[in-house]
Amino acid sequence: MIALSLAEIAGLLGGTLHLVGDDTADTLVDGTVDTDSRLIAPGGIFVAKPGEETDGHRFVGAAVANGAALALVEHVVDEPVSQIVVADVVDALAVLAEAVVARVRAAGNLRIVGVTGSNGKTTTKNFLLRILSDEGETVAPIASFNNEVGAPLTMLRVTEQTRYLVCEFGASAPGEIARLAGLVHPDVSIVLMVGLAHAGGFGGIEETARAKAELVTATRDGGTVVLNLDDPRVFAMRALAEERGLQVRGFGQGAAADVRAEDIAVSATGTSCLIVDADGQRLPLRLQVLGAHHINNALAAIAAVSVLGVSTQDAISRLETVEIAERWRMQPMGGDRVRIINDAYNASPDSMAAALRTLAQIVEPGQRTVAVLGAMSELGENAGEEHDRIGLLAVRLNIQRIVVVGADARRLFLAAIGEGSWDGEAVFFPTSDEAFAYLQTELREGDRVLVKSSNSAGLRHLGDRLGESFS
Domain locations along the chain: 4-87, 92-319, 331-469
**Per-residue model confidence as pLDDT tens for the chain (471 residues):** 999 999 999 999 999 999 999 999 999 999 999 999 999 999 999 999 998 788 999 999 999 999 999 999 999 999 999 999 999 999 999 999 999 999 999 988 899 999 999 889 999 999 999 999 999 999 999 877 889 999 999 999 999 999 999 999 988 788 999 999 999 999 999 999 998 655 555 667 889 999 999 999 999 999 999 999 999 999 999 999 999 999 999 999 999 999 999 999 998 889 999 999 999 999 999 999 988 999 999 999 999 999 999 999 999 999 999 988 777 778 989 888 899 999 988 888 989 999 999 999 999 888 999 999 999 988 888 899 999 999 999 999 999 999 999 999 999 999 999 887 777 799 999 999 999 999 999 999 999 999 999 888 889 999 999 999 998
Find residue 369's DSSP bridge partners.
448
**Residue 361: what pLDDT?**
92
Q: Give the other-Cβ count within 10 Å of 384's Cβ.
A: 12
CATH for the stretch 4-87: 3.40.1390.10
**This model's pTM is above 0.85:** yes
Is 119 annotated as ligand-binding?
Answer: yes
Task: For residue 122, say whether it is annotated as part of any ligand binding site.
Answer: yes
pLDDT of 329 reads: 79
Q: How far apart are CA 177 and CA 147, in angstroms?
A: 9
H or E element that contains 103: helix 89-106
Cα four-point dihedral sign 383, 384, 390, 394: positive
| Confidence (pLDDT) at 380 | 83
Q: Please tell me the distance from the alpha carbon of residue 192 to that of residue 297, in angstroms, as a whole number.
A: 7
The domain covering 92-319 belongs, at the CATH homologous superfamily level, to Mur-like, catalytic domain (3.40.1190.10)
Helix spans in 424-458 (H): 432-442
146-163 residue pLDDT tens: 899 999 999 999 999 999
Would you say 219 and 125 are in contact if contact means Cβ atoms under 8 Å apart?
no
Give the pLDDT confidence of 288-322 residue by residue, as tens digits.
998 899 999 999 999 999 999 999 999 999 999 99
Question: Cβ neighbours of residue 39 under 8 Å, at least 6 residues apart?
Answer: 32
Is residue 438 within 8 Å of residue 430, measured between CB atoms? no
Spatial neighbors of 173 by CB under 8 A, at least 6 apart, are 201, 202, 211
Q: What is the per-residue pLDDT for 199?
A: 56
Tell which CATH classification among 3.10.310.10, 3.40.50.2300, 2.60.120.260, 3.90.190.20 matches the domain 331-469.
Answer: 3.90.190.20
**Is residue 121 marked as binding?**
yes
Q: Are 356 and 394 in contact (CB under 8 A)?
A: yes
Class of residue 11 by CB neighbours under 10 A (exposed 0-12, middle 13-18, buried 19+)? middle
| Closest C-alpha to 456, from 416, 405, 420 | 405
4-87 and 92-319, same CATH topology = no
The residue type at 433:
D
